[in-house]
Each structure stands twice: as C-alpha cells, then as structure tokens.
C-alpha cells in the first residue's frame, strides 16, 4: 500500500536489532485518520469474506482493530496477555513468545466471545516471527470459528512469520512488507 | 448518559469485590458503533476545549480513545505499562497501583509525543480509586502540556477516585457514575 510505504519511509526509524520504530503514527502515538485509510484498504482486500468478528491482541493491536472494524461493521475482541482478576469464567488460552519483550506469556480470550458461528479476521500492527499471530490462530481453532484471514499493517518479510502463516494456508494480507532494512535504506516487497 | 446506563443494566455483570464486568461491549469484546456514540457524547461535553491530543493508557483505554479521537480530529497517544525494548529515548514516567491487578507498575510515555504546546484530554474506560488517572495527570504535568480534562466511560462513584480528581480542580466528565452496586441492583448518580 503506497500511502503506508511512503509514511514508513518518512517517519519510520530503523534501530539496531531489526527494530523498525513507527511509534509516531502507528503504535504509541496514533494518527487516527491515517489508520482509517488502512481500515478502508483491509476492507477492500477482504471485501468477499463474510467476517463477523475482528480478533486482535493487546496492546498495540487494539486501536488499529477498532478503527478497522468500522469498515466491517463487526465487533472487536482482543486477547489479553496475562491472567486478569476480571477474566474469570472459561477461557481459550495459548502460549506466545514475544520477540519485542523476550518472554513467554499466555494469550487469553473469554469463550463467550468466539464460537463456531464466527468468521474471524485477525488484525495486528506487526508480523515478525509470527508467534503472536500463531497464538491467535490457535485460539480461533480452539473456538471452532472459521478463520477468514489475517490483516497485518507491517510484515517483516526477512523474518519467518509470513512464510510460516502462508504455508499453513492462512490468507494473509500485509499492507507493507519490508524485505530488508539497514540504517539508511528500507526495501519493500513489490505489491502483488 | 442514558444509552450507556441502559447498556450497563442490560449487559453489565456485578461480581464480588465491587467488580463491574462490561466485557461484552466495552473492554474485552468491543461494540464499535456503541463506543462511537460515547465518542460523540465526549465531543459534546468538551466541545469548548481546544484539545490537540488524547492521552490514554494501555490496554483497554486504547480502542475507546481511538474511536473517541475521531470526533476531535486529533492523534491518540497511549502510555505503556512497562519498560519496552522498543521504547528507548527520553520518557515521562509515573508509578501507578492497579486496583484490578493488585500491583504497582510504571506508566511510560515518550517525551516526543507530549509537550507544552499540547492541550490534552484523558480518556479511560473506568475510574475507581483514580490511580491510573493520577499517573496520566502526573505525566501531563511533567510534559508541561495543558490538561483540558478527563473523560471516563464508567466511574465507580463509591470509590474515592472521582472526588480526588475533582478536588484537584480537574474537569472530569464521567458518562455514567455508579453510586452503589449489589448483586441485584445498580444505582446511577443522576445526571447533572
């Protein structure tokens, strides 16, 4: 998506350790009108999918998912990353390893909010090694909902997550795929 | 706000320990069209305030803040609850005690995203003992931005947070104030 690639080139900052910081517009400060444009693009790409629910994971996925959901007219459910006193009752759980925080955590979703009748679109800001997305897919499978696909804002194409998810047969739409990055250059995978 | 009070009565669940669960529409599953109505109401109440930025705290505040921000046409910044490897550079920090999780954590905001030129509206889903909101107010003060007020979806009027914040002279708008709750009844404070 050209608008997104231009914004990454303008405002993204590459840090050591293959970190791409887009915190000025996507996941710390959030440019709401810009993210609405991403929402329209996700809707265009998944226009044929009978989506009933958008699933994401806290924290930075939530705001993006809420804005995107407006174009699908469906609720958002977000998986939580730790056991909360407020989250009693039956829950779907999955273990996830965080690339950013270098730790393993539980992903938790109340069973009330996902079931066999649902058609789910996963939304997240980043796809790198794919662990967070694998956790969400595991939860969708456990709920026996239908997984319609995953919409990612920025995929790090040089890490294994995208290939792993596509090899599973999941429909994955990444709005920008970064194939390589150095301190002075970013290369995007050409749009297909 | 009548629409909100009706929804709390219809879908809210009271749990032991003064817990009001609204996770079917507000902070686990999110009813996007409903939350947009809350956004319109916040805009109506703060129509005269020259807001340049909405500040919230992860995780459940983020989605609400993003939807609300559409009516103010301003960016959202969200404070994070722990040190993240991606959050380098200079940061505002404040210590917060969580009522829900019974622990103390650091609230962190990059200094890049809040400064003396900003007029800030705080947005969060719940106000109980006020600790999270006090942490955000502390960060606004440290940034030397102007605090225009705080917009809360549900205030627990029987806990001390609301009084504490109002006594500081902060303009606090809570869309619903629960004055008491038992297993079979909820009492709302009459609208002023």
CB distance A175 to A38 below 8 Å: yes
pLDDT digits (tens, 9 = 90+) for B169-181: 999 999 999 999 9
Residue in A30, A73, A76 closest to B30 by CB:
A76
Q: What is the complex's ipTM, to 2 decimals?
A: 0.94
* Cβ of residue B187 closer than 8 Å to a chain A Cβ: no
Give percent of chain B above pLDDT 70.
94
Q: Give the span between the Cα atoms of A172 and A148, in whole angstroms.
A: 9
Q: Give the span between the Cα atoms of B139 and B96, in whole angstroms.
A: 11
pLDDT digits (tens, 9 = 90+) for A20-56: 999 999 999 999 999 999 999 999 999 999 999 999 9
* Cβ of residue A29 closer than 8 Å to a chain B Cβ: yes
pLDDT digits (tens, 9 = 90+) for A124-136: 999 999 999 999 9
Q: Give the span between the Cα atoms of A89 and A81, in whole angstroms.
A: 16
What percent of chain B is helix, strand and coil (3-state, nearest 5)? 30, 35, 35
For residue A82, the chain B residue with the least C-alpha distance is B101
Q: Give the span between the Cα atoms of A32 and B26, in whole angstroms.
A: 19
In which region does residue B18 sit, left (phi positive, over 0), alpha (psi from -120 to 50) or beta (all else)? left
Beta bridge partners of B146: B119
Name the token pair of A45.
């790409």
Q: Give the span between the Cα atoms of B162 and B1, in whole angstroms.
A: 17
For residue A21, the chain B residue with the least C-alpha distance is B86
- Length of chain B as a residue count: 192
* Cβ of residue B159 closer than 8 Å to a chain A Cβ: no
User: Which residues of B fall in the annotated binding site?
Assistant: 20, 27, 128-132, 156
Residue in B36, B76, B110 closest to A30 by CB:
B76
**In this structure, CATH architecture of domain A2-188:** 3-Layer(aba) Sandwich (3.40)
Domain spans in chain B, listed from the N-terminal domain onward: 2-183
CATH for the B2-183 domain, from 3.40.50.2020, 3.10.20.90, 3.30.465.10, 2.60.40.1120: 3.40.50.2020
Name the token pair of A89.
């009752």
The Cα of B163 is separated from the nearest Cα of chain A by a number of Å equal to 24
CB distance B46 to B69 below 8 Å: no
């Amino acid at each position: 998506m050209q608008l997104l690639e231009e914004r990454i080139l303008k405002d993204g900052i590459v840090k050591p350790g293959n970190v791409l910081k887009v915190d000025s517009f996507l996941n710390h400060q959030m440019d709401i009108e810009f993210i609405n444009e991403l929402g329209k693009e996700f809707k265009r790409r998944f226009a044929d999918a009978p989506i009933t629910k958008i699933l994401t994971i806290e924290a930075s996925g939530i705001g993006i998912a809420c804005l995107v959901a407006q174009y699908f007219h469906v609720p958002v459910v977000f998986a939580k990353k730790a056991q909360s006193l407020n989250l009693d009752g039956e829950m779907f759980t999955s273990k996830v390893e965080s690339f950013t925080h270098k730790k393993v955590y539980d992903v938790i979703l109340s069973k009330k909010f996902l079931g066999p009748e649902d058609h789910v679109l996963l939304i997240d800001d980043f796809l790198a090694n794919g662990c967070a997305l694998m956790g969400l897919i595991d939860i969708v499978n456990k709920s026996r909902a239908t997984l319609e696909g995953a919409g990612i804002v920025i995929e790090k194409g040089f890490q294994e997550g995208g290939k792993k998810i596509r090899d599973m047969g999941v429909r994955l739409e990444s709005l920008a795929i970064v194939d390589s990055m150095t301190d002075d250059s970013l290369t995007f995978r050409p749009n297909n």
